[in-house]
Amino acid sequence: MRPVAATNDFVVKFANINGSGSASANELFAKCILRMGVPVSPRNIFPSNIQGLPTWYEVRVSEAGWLGRRGGYDLLVAMNPQTWDADVKGLAPGGYLFYDNSKPLPKFKFRDDVTTIGVPLTDIANQTWDDARQRQLFKNIMYLGALSVLLGIERDVIVALIGEQYKGKQALLEPNVHALDLGRGYAEKNLSPIGLKVERRDNVGDRIFVDGNSAAALGMVYGGATVCAWYPITPSSSLAEAFQKYCAKLRVDRQTGKHNYAIVQAEDEIASIGIVTGAGWNGARAFTATSGPGISLMNEFIGLAYFAEIPVTLIDVQRGGPSTGMPTRTQQSDVMFCAHASHGDTNHVLLFPEDPYECFEFAARALDLADRLQTPVFMLSDLDIGMNHRLCRPLEWDDARRYDRGKVLTDEQLEAGVPFGRYRDVDGDGIPYRTYPGTHPARGSFFTRGTSKNADAKYSERGEDYIENMQRLQRKLQTAKTLLPQPVLHKAPHPARHGAIYFGSTSPSMAEAIAKLDADSMHIDALRVRGYPFVDSIREFVEAHEQVFVVEQNRDAQLRSLLIEQFEIDPARLIPILHYDGTPITARFIAKAIGERMRSAEVRPLRSDKVA
């Protein structure tokens, strides 16, 4: 078997033990390559555990800039004996197995068709440090050093990054650099070069490297959220924690030292959404971050906020469901559920960000939409973009941008005699006017309730009042369509009979799959949906193609169901392409699935009149 030879186009998989300090060394590895101008996309594959269970970190190096998960790996850094057998088995033929050879392993533990690279990491660490924790931590930096020699990663780049990481902490900086050089020294002396290489390029540009949860938290800071209530749940906890961190830096009044924000770690998700509902009712921009199980608990409040028309912003960082499901794996399986959360007839606004850039933008926009529409607005992120660093466009903010606080009557307007009825459709767009509590001594007060009411917010069980209200809520959702981000169209280089619809974190793999299919002369137009309810151009896209593949990361083809529900499209036109094993969807999977169907469609066309 010929060893794999590739420059700037390969996948490295690190197999580690959770809690061993490997995460920061692995992240450093990814960043070094970025600093050399070569795009990477790393993915943490981790267990629901703090210490002891296996964890993996996959780094895809792609000069071409493909950021989706590729699948497979060419270099294995095998640091976990528990998963050794399966990890070694999964290595690509001709790949490289990097391991700690301090303890001899029997021959049957290895493969003949891969190159084995042993470094006595434990021995060197034991000779150098006395402290057990230091031995463990610096072992990670040592393998980074050895790998940098094998792959051609520049030492200066690594040292600069370590310097940034331990800025002002000299005591930590020096031993890290020492560990790096121990690894490099061993490799230079004892190892021969391998077929995988990193070469300097200029393909990163001004892009930034950030996780979606941090970007969403920043979006909430920029968008003006002042109240955040949350309950810890993977994979969304880091979002609320990032909001806390950014607020402590960016939202403390310089003069008074007072906080222009309030964050409650609530007792559960029900209290979280209750706090957000109370704050939204009282005129503060408020949000919660959670995952699917949290949305399950929040359903009653979501129905209340929909029916009583209270601005509420929710971020659902989706994970594998149902029930506890796969807490540390990714899915897009809350789409249907969020679109109709609560008992009774409901319909909610959803936003689907593709990357951290859109997590930032949509988070801020969700706050505007919630205030404008006076309804729950969901941003559906997922573990893949939420918890992994992703290369994306720099975050943008226009200082001229103003918060849209929606239709709120002021003290002056009430004093001037502007008529007020809480649920009257004055403008014909389904959106009523509201007042904040405490505005005017005699005018503008009303009673908010989850029961049916008339247009003046008085309790009513009259069927006419109920229907008028429910129909107005539907009109309001029609108005929502005019405010949501438009879908993004990718036109094939040649006229295409087939289309594909996709959303969210599927985006980078979809782009790569389209390129693969194009290369095989299978052309498809692709439309990335960014919001729900769907705008009419999505229907037009479906109608303009014989068949449309709907690519999503869940079992039940949820986006497809919503498309059929909203547009009453013939289901035969929408072909589900579904990936839901908890790993991020890959271009290989999409291209294969779509390619097979397109080839078979050529044999059996959908419409018989096309047969010659």
Is residue 163 close enough to count as binding other proteins by CB under 8 A?
no
Q: Considering only 8-16, 38-46, 189-197, 208-216, which stretch makes contact with other proteins by CB under 8 A?
A: 208-216
Residues between 231 and 260 that touch other proteins (CB under 8 A): 250-251, 253, 256-260
Among 266, 510, 524, 562, binds other proteins (CB under 8 A): 266
Residue 303 to residues 115, 208, 261, 281, 298: CA-CA distances in angstroms?
59, 38, 26, 14, 9
Beta-carbon count within 10 A of 429 CB: 17
Residues between 576 and 605 that touch other proteins (CB under 8 A): none
Among 10, 209, 534, 589, binds other proteins (CB under 8 A): 209
Q: Considering only 150-158, 233-241, 266-274, 576-584, which stretch makes contact with other proteins by CB under 8 A?
A: 266-274
Tokens, residue 205: 């540009």
Rounded distance between C-alpha atoms, residue 295 and residue 7, angstroms: 44
Among 112, 130, 131, 206, binds other proteins (CB under 8 A): 206
Tokens, residue 429: 């767009």
Among 286, 289, 480, 575, binds other proteins (CB under 8 A): 286
Residues between 450 and 469 that touch other proteins (CB under 8 A): 450-451, 459
389 φ, ψ to 5°?
-70, 135
Pick the closer one to other proteins by CB: 221 or 590.
221
Among 446, 452, 470, 475, binds other proteins (CB under 8 A): 446
Residues between 416 and 435 that touch other proteins (CB under 8 A): 435
Rounded distance between C-alpha atoms, residue 344 and residue 342, angstroms: 6
Is residue 510 close enough to count as binding other proteins by CB under 8 A?
no
Rg, C-alpha atoms of the chain: 27
Residues between 289 and 318 that touch other proteins (CB under 8 A): 300-301, 304
Pick the closer one to other proteins by CB: 412 or 596.
412
Q: Mark out the alpha helices in 191-261 (DSSP H runs).
A: 212-223, 237-250
Query: Residue 491: helix, strand or coil by DSSP?
Result: coil
Among 4, 25, 76, 276, binds other proteins (CB under 8 A): 276
Among 105, 262, 418, 470, binds other proteins (CB under 8 A): 262
Tokens 């992994």 belong to residue: 388
DSSP 485: P
Among 163, 322, 437, 571, binds other proteins (CB under 8 A): 437
Q: Considering only 67-75, 117-125, 142-150, 392-400, which stretch makes contact with other proteins by CB under 8 A?
A: 392-400
Q: Considering only 17-25, 271-279, 461-469, 534-542, which stretch makes contact with other proteins by CB under 8 A?
A: 271-279
State the burial class of residue 92 (Cβ atoms within 10 Å of its Cβ: 0-12, 13-18, 19+). middle
CB of 522 to other proteins, least distance (A): 37
Is residue 158 close enough to count as binding other proteins by CB under 8 A?
no
Query: Residue 399: helix, strand or coil by DSSP?
Result: coil
388 φ, ψ to 5°?
-110, 145
Pick the closer one to other proteins by CB: 221 or 577.
221
Among 153, 271, 317, 510, binds other proteins (CB under 8 A): 271
DSSP 523: -
State the burial class of residue 555 (Cβ atoms within 10 Å of its Cβ: 0-12, 13-18, 19+). middle
CB of 377 to other proteins, least distance (A): 16
Q: Considering only 120-128, 149-157, 262-270, 530-538, which stretch makes contact with other proteins by CB under 8 A?
A: 262-270
User: Which stretch of DSSP H or E encloses residue 391?
Assistant: strand 389-392
Pick the closer one to other proteins by CB: 122 or 244.
244
Rounded distance between C-alpha atoms, residue 351 and residue 377, angstroms: 8
Evaluate whether 306 touches 473 at the Cβ level (below 8 Å): yes
Is residue 165 close enough to count as binding other proteins by CB under 8 A?
no
User: Which stretch of DSSP H or E encloses residue 14?
Assistant: strand 9-17
Query: Residue 513: helix, strand or coil by DSSP?
Result: helix
Among 221, 535, 590, 591, binds other proteins (CB under 8 A): 221
Is residue 227 close enough to count as binding other proteins by CB under 8 A?
yes
Rounded distance between C-alpha atoms, residue 328 and residue 380, angstroms: 16
Tokens 């720099």 belong to residue: 394
Among 127, 403, 462, 489, binds other proteins (CB under 8 A): 403
DSSP 552: E
CB of 402 to other proteins, least distance (A): 6
Pick the closer one to other proteins by CB: 449 or 491.
449
Q: Considering only 83-91, 175-183, 446-454, 513-521, which stretch makes contact with other proteins by CB under 8 A?
A: 446-454
290 φ, ψ to 5°?
-155, -170
Is residue 438 close enough to count as binding other proteins by CB under 8 A?
yes
The residues near 32 (Cβ < 8 Å, ≥ 6 apart) are 148, 153, 154, 157, 158, 161
Residues between 67 and 106 that touch other proteins (CB under 8 A): none
CB of 342 to other proteins, least distance (A): 11
Among 2, 89, 402, 610, binds other proteins (CB under 8 A): 402
Backbone dihedral region for residue 389 (phi beyond 0: left; psi -120 to 50: alpha; all else: beta): beta
CB of 397 to other proteins, least distance (A): 5
371 φ, ψ to 5°?
-65, -40
Count the residues of the shown chain that bind other proteins, applying the rule CB under 8 A.
72
Pick the closer one to other proteins by CB: 252 or 515.
252
Tokens, residue 289: 């971050």
User: Which stretch of DSSP H or E encloses residue 276?
Assistant: helix 269-281
Is residue 441 close enough to count as binding other proteins by CB under 8 A?
yes
Cis peptide before 533 (omega within 30 of 0): yes
Is residue 398 close enough to count as binding other proteins by CB under 8 A?
yes
Query: Residue 407: helix, strand or coil by DSSP?
Result: coil
Pick the closer one to other proteins by CB: 214 or 554.
214
Q: Considering only 117-125, 182-190, 277-285, 345-353, which stretch makes contact with other proteins by CB under 8 A?
A: 277-285
Pick the closer one to other proteins by CB: 393 or 555.
393
Tokens, residue 434: 């509201």
Rounded distance between C-alpha atoms, residue 374 and residue 587, angstroms: 39
Is residue 24 close enough to count as binding other proteins by CB under 8 A?
no
CB of 485 to other proteins, least distance (A): 20
Q: Residue 584: which of 27, 240, 233, 212 has the closest Cα?
A: 212
CB of 343 to other proteins, least distance (A): 12
